[in-house]
A = this chain, B = another copy of it.
């Protein structure tokens, strides 16, 4: 494993640590397992498809992905973004079939751990088992918040809320640079994530720009006034369950 991957592995540890404290032994075991099998994928690839039999866990070292599902008639809905440090589905191998797909938005580097090997890890260190369990609970909480976002927020609030969420999720993995972060999500993806049309996403983003809340260009997001954006979005970070506030 070469240096950038090592740095990214540290991001994974930081992320889990932000949810629950890891033991040194747990960290060592996890880092070792990650080092055993590191893979790469290009942008726009399906890493997992609906209908696949899940049999392994993927820990994202770098890059962004989406979980999504497509209706028979082509309508697509993104149900979540998978960010660096996130684990794709600890435990999902208990199900016999994937009910959704996972695609890369950017080039992605990830560690792959077979189900049995992953179970070993959890059994060997209680702090790891807890951390992954909590990660799952937080993913559920995020999913619930998306339901609220789609159900009860208007377009402007909705997009603002999504931006706040991504920003705050990038913080514990050290991917913020001041008020800015990478933002490889196209307006089309944003539309599929917020249940809006591309046209309306475009107009909504322009409104956020006009209000001087954000700068979004060349795949970089800058939030000029985070407090104001959160206020507009009715954003409360409690559902992310981060230890350090």
Interface residues of A (CB under 8 A from B): 20, 67, 69, 71-73, 75-77, 79-80, 91-92, 94-97, 99-100, 130, 133-134, 136-141, 143-148, 150-153, 192-195, 234, 238-239, 241
Contact = CB atoms under 8 A, between A and B. Distances in A.
A219 to B, nearest CB: 24
A177 to B, nearest CB: 29
A95 B24 CA distance: 22
Contacts of A139: 140
Prevailing SS type, chain A contact patch: helix
Q: What number of copies of this chain does the assembly contain?
A: 2
A11 B134 CA distance: 28
Nearest to A234: B71
Contacts of A148: 69, 71, 77, 79
B94 A137 contact: yes
A238 B234 CA distance: 34
Given A195-B151, A195-B152, A144 B99 contact: yes
Contact of A97 (B95, B100, B241): B241
Contacts of A79: 144, 147-148
